[in-house]
Amino acid sequence: MTFFEARNVNLHFGSFHVLRDVSFEFGKGDVLVVCGPSGSGKSTLIRSINRLASPLTSGSMSIQGCDLMSLPRQDLYRRIGMVFQRFNLFQHLTVLENVALPQRRVLGRNRREAADRARALLDRVGLADKADTYPVRLSGGQQQRVAICRTLAMEPELLLFDEPTSALDPEMVGEVLQVMRGLASGGMTMIVVTHEMGFARELGTEILFMEQGQVVERASPVDFFASPREARTRAFLDQIL
Ligand code: ADP
Ligand code: MG
């Protein structure tokens, strides 16, 4: 059953045609991996899902049959969570407050409830002992794990990741991928923009390869890596593997 659907999505920045007739769909619990060269429109695509990019020029996107473009912003943010490349934690708040505050603001949870839930999430990603620390004292990998907790605290139906490990030092990539692995195996529905092809191969339900704003290839991880149909996909894989 279709959970998410993008149909003939086009998006322009001024006269620049960034997304060109992008269509795809996936089911609940799927992990859609999006890859492609820099500038191919990956960030724009996932940002357009929760309306952080310009409005679509044409086409539509829906989640469980519900049109995303007409969904009130508050509902959209609640139902679809986003994890950014650069964490974007609130620097003046402790780790616990970073995870608790949005729950109070967006979900109307009381202080106690929000803090309890934040602690449980931090525990799950191995950061229970950092609750009262400020982000500046954490490594990049730890900050990204906090950012994931903050997003999870909203109990989203869909999680979007935009290159969640590419701002990290290599030794910290593993700890963030480990958290994402746990989410995927726990049945979380996710769209992950990443160059981590190990992750894509292991956890991707489907891989979408983009170039110049177009979906060049959509395939299962097995087919994508073993026998890509398109010459452009092969050239990309030759470069990064
Ligand atoms: P990717 O994430 O695949 O590297 P992006 O979605 O960030 O690609 O960018 C796709 C194209 O759109 C690039 O050519 C980029 O320069 C351009 N672009 C991205 N954001 C904007 C913007 N806000 N205004 C104008 N052009 C943009
Ligand atoms: Mg990007």
Are residues 41 and 57 in contact, defined by beta-carbon separation less than 8 angstroms?
A: no
pLDDT score, position 241: 80
Contacts of 175 (CB under 8 A, 6+ apart): 126, 141, 142, 145
DSSP structure class, residue 213: T
- CA nearest neighbour of 145 among 106, 176, 108: 176
CA distance 98 to 27: 31
Q: Beta-carbon neighbour count of residue 67 at 10 Å?
A: 10
Interval 199-238: pLDDT, tens = 999 999 999 999 999 999 999 999 999 999 999 999 999 9
Name the amino acid, one letter, at 113: E
Ligand 1 probe mutation, 9, 13, 17, most atoms within 8 A of CB = 13
Closest ligand (CA of 163): 2
- Flag whether the ipTM exceeds 0.95: yes
Interval 76-114: pLDDT, tens = 999 999 999 998 999 999 999 999 999 999 999 999 999
Residue 11 CA, ligand 2 centroid: distance in Å: 15
Residue 213 CA, ligand 1 centroid: distance in Å: 9
> Would you say residue 185 has pLDDT above 90?
yes
Are residues 154 and 103 in contact, defined by beta-carbon separation less than 8 angstroms?
A: yes
Could you identify the atom of ligand 1 that is nearest to the CA of residue 54?
23
Are residues 199 and 177 in contact, defined by beta-carbon separation less than 8 angstroms?
A: yes
**Atom 13 of ligand 1, nearest CA residue:** 39
Place of tokens 């940002």: 47
Who lines ligand 1 at CB under 6 A? 13, 16, 18, 36, 38-44
Beta-bridge mates of residue 22: 9
CA distance 8 to 22: 5
Residue 162 CA, ligand 1 centroid: distance in Å: 13
240: confidence class by pLDDT, cuts 50, 70, 90: confident
Q: What's the mean per-residue pLDDT of the chain? A: 96
Residue 228 CA, ligand 2 centroid: distance in Å: 23
Are residues 35 and 202 in contact, defined by beta-carbon separation less than 8 angstroms?
A: no
Closest ligand (CA of 47): 1
pLDDT score, position 1: 81
pTM for this model (two decimals): 0.96
**Atom 15 of ligand 1, nearest CA residue:** 39
- Here the tokens at position 235 are 């050239």
